[in-house]
Amino acid sequence: MSATSFQIDIAETTLARARRGDLRALEQIYRTFERPAYTLALRMLGNVETAREVVHDAMLHLLERIGQFRGDAPFWGWLRQIVVNEALMKLRRERGVQFEELPDDDDTPSTDPAPWALAEARHLERALDRLPALTRSVLWLYHVEEYTHQEIAEMTGKSVSFSKSQVARGSTRLRNLLESDTPRYPQEVASCMTATAS
């Protein structure tokens, strides 16, 4: 599986046409990255309207300046960075300089089997939505986009240890939310069904 869904190469001929202002080439580029960009923004922000605004602004920023793109860095990396920056700016503007963070008491490691292996997508999405925005963003940037703690610290203006603690606390909170939201074992499902039937 690709490390990040953003890792898509654009043909040089498409880029050349886009640099000349060919609207069809620009649309082709937009369509290629529409889903990865929106998914990243949505996971970070947790709000469909704000995520849509972020993708609109990031894409406009990118497509207007595509003539300036030199091609010495991966195109997808450039776009992804713009989306992350726009999303972080949006979080700062909406929540002030201080981000909501998870408290210290939320990073107790558990020895139970990880519930996300069995959780349905909608349960995992619901649990993600219940995390504070910055915690969710750090978790996503680290696990899915594979940014390092150092890179996350630079982007968020926080420390490396902050990034590490948010990943740890976010994972623990996610585990707790999933365990309280979904039946943990098939036997529990069976007993619930039996109880309901009787």
Examine residue 35 and tell whether it contacts another protein (CB under 8 A).
yes
Q: Which is nearer to another protein, 150 or 191 (CB)?
A: 150
Q: Do the Cβ atoms of 96 and 158 come closer than 8 Å?
A: no
Examine residue 47 and tell whether it contacts another protein (CB under 8 A).
no
Examine residue 60 and tell whether it contacts another protein (CB under 8 A).
yes
Using the rule CB under 8 A, which residue among 92, 164, 176, 179 binds another protein? 164
Name residues whose C-beta falls within 8 Å of residue 117's C-beta, 6 or more positions apart in sequence. Answer: none
CA separation for the pair 145, 36 (Å, rounded): 11
Examine residue 146 and tell whether it contacts another protein (CB under 8 A).
yes
Name residues whose C-beta falls within 8 Å of residue 58's C-beta, 6 or more positions apart in sequence. Answer: 37, 41, 79, 82, 83, 86
Q: Which is nearer to another protein, 79 or 91 (CB)?
A: 79
CA separation for the pair 198, 193 (Å, rounded): 9
Name residues whose C-beta falls within 8 Å of residue 123's C-beta, 6 or more positions apart in sequence. Answer: 178, 181, 182
Examine residue 102 and tell whether it contacts another protein (CB under 8 A).
no
Q: Do the Cβ atoms of 134 and 167 come closer than 8 Å?
A: no
Using the rule CB under 8 A, which residue among 14, 15, 17, 30 binds another protein? 30
Q: Which range in 9-17, 44-52, 92-100, 181-189 contacts another protein by CB under 8 A?
A: 44-52
Q: Do the Cβ atoms of 146 and 3 come closer than 8 Å?
A: yes
Q: Do the Cβ atoms of 41 and 57 come closer than 8 Å?
A: no
Q: Do the Cβ atoms of 139 and 130 come closer than 8 Å?
A: no
Examine residue 121 and tell whether it contacts another protein (CB under 8 A).
yes
Examine residue 10 and tell whether it contacts another protein (CB under 8 A).
no
Q: Which range in 8-16, 20-28, 89-97, 188-196 contacts another protein by CB under 8 A?
A: 20-28
Q: Would you tell me which residues interact with another protein (CB under 8 A)?
A: 1, 3, 5, 21, 23, 26-27, 30-31, 34-36, 38-39, 42, 48, 51-52, 55-56, 59-60, 63-65, 68-70, 72-74, 77-78, 81-82, 85, 109, 114, 116-117, 119, 121, 124-125, 128, 139-140, 142-144, 146-151, 164, 167-168, 171, 174
